[in-house]
Amino acid sequence: MGDIMPQWFSIVLLDILKMALILAVVPPCMMYTTQLERKAIARIQDRFGPNRVGPYGLAQPFADMIKMLVKEDIVPKGSDKLCHLLAPLLIVVPSLFLFTLLPFGPGFIAAPISTGLLFFMALGSTGTLAIFTAGWTSRSAFPLLGAIRNAAQLIAYEVPFVLASAVIPMIVGSLRMTDIVMAQSVSGWFIFTPWGFTAFLLLFTAGLAEVNRTPFDLPEAESELVGGFHTEYSGMKFGLFYLAEYVSTIALAVLLSVLFFGGWAGPRIPFLPALGSAILWISMKSFLLVFVTIWIRGTWPRFRVDRLMGFAWKVMIPVALANLVGAAVWFYCPGFIGTAVSAVLVVSVFLLTSQLWAAPKPVLTTTWADQTS
């Protein structure tokens, strides 16, 4: 007993330290991502952006936080009050969970489980349940429309997301995040292979849809659905939805840099320990990807809802399936031939399906859809 207790205690203490580190670092990262986004979009739109609170507007996120805290929390009449309160909790916890599964340096991962990639995707899709809870329990028309759009969007984009990421365990032979990074230190970054590049584009697109970022922000389309699923939320509960959205965006960026950009690998930065250099590299790669999502938001319009579903089912899923075969070809025929054949395969499937998708609707006399409705 005397021997077991201190060991047990040190394990729990280590767990609490890991937890405290994640919970202390992630929310400030999110706050400054909102700042980065507002500044970047302001520059794209030829404005200055927040520049009044503190030097260069750097205290703006804190001002926003105080504003959220002192705002009145309004719960609409007739809504399910318990679920209305639970929805923001349900969306924030899984998004923070994603950071336990991501490696930030050699051995610097909170939960190195053997099914890391699969668990990440399972957690990533739970946000939809929270969004649907938020939309449905508000008992108001706009949130309900936003929630139903979100469910449709997840149903469409979850499939290419999962299919596209399956090429990684095929080539690496493991779902463990650290193994994926190690494999890239031997074979080079996966972004430079034809299947890796395709999978990156598919995962980035489907990932934007999963975290509801432009051009897939239909669930909260502010110009048509007021605020979408969070129309009836105010104060801190509203702020928590924003926290979850940005935290998942950062998690997606870290995931993509782990899967395709070699994770923490990079030349050793002088005057830093090895771990510090690794963390700095993965942070730079991830923030570059976060910046790309902001850039997309600043430049692209929103998808139309009918085209959204068609794009996932008719273009992304066939390309993801072709990419699986392409990765197998690349693996069995090493060298130039395999690379060329898999690239040609994926590009030809993309050209074919995108042409068919963009083609005008065929006029059918009777369809199954007609008979059932």
Q: Which residues inside 86-105 make contact with other proteins, applying CB under 8 A? A: 88-89, 92-93, 96-97, 100
Closest by Cα among 295, 96, 308, 283 to 206:
308
The yes or no reply on residue 346 touching other proteins (CB under 8 A) is no
Q: Is residue 158 near other proteins by the rule CB under 8 A?
A: yes
The dihedrals phi and psi of 305, each to the nearest 5 degrees, come to: -65, -35
Kindly identify the residues of this chain, within the stretch 227-286, that bind other proteins according to CB under 8 A. 231-232, 235-237, 239-240, 243
* 310 is an interface residue for other proteins by CB under 8 A: yes
Question: Peptide bond preceding 215: is omega within 30 degrees of 0, i.e. cis?
Answer: yes
Q: In the set 40, 152, 340, 347, which binds other proteins (CB under 8 A)?
A: 152
Of 246, 251, 256, 257, nearest in space to 282 by CA: 257
Q: CB of residue 21 vs other proteins: minimum separation in angstroms?
A: 11
337 binds other proteins (CB under 8 A): no
Of residues 121 and 280, the one with the C-beta less far from other proteins: 121
Task: Tell me whether residue 71 or residue 280 sits nearer to other proteins (CB atom).
Answer: 71
Among 63, 182, 296, 324, the residue binding other proteins under the rule CB under 8 A is 324
State whether residue 233 is helix, strand or coil: coil
Among candidate residues 212, 246, 210, the one with its CA nearest the CA of residue 96: 246
Helices (H), the chain: 4-44, 60-70, 81-97, 116-124, 127-137, 141-165, 167-172, 177-187, 194-210, 235-260, 274-299, 305-310, 317-332, 336-358, 368-372
CA dihedral 231, 236, 239, 240 (to 10 degrees): -100
CA atoms of 79 and 135, how far apart (whole Å):
10
Task: Choose which of 55, 78, 270, 301 interacts with other proteins (CB under 8 A).
Answer: 78
**Closest separation between CB of residue 159 and other proteins, Å?**
4
**Binder of other proteins out of 318, 319, 326, 342 (CB under 8 A):** 318
Among 31, 163, 250, 345, binds other proteins (CB under 8 A): 163
Q: How far is the CB of 152 from other proteins (least distance, A)?
A: 5
Q: Give dist(CA 265, CA 270) in Å, integer.
A: 15
- In angstroms, give the least distance from the CB of 190 to other proteins: 14
Q: Which of 110, 129, 280, 340 binds other proteins (CB under 8 A)?
A: 110
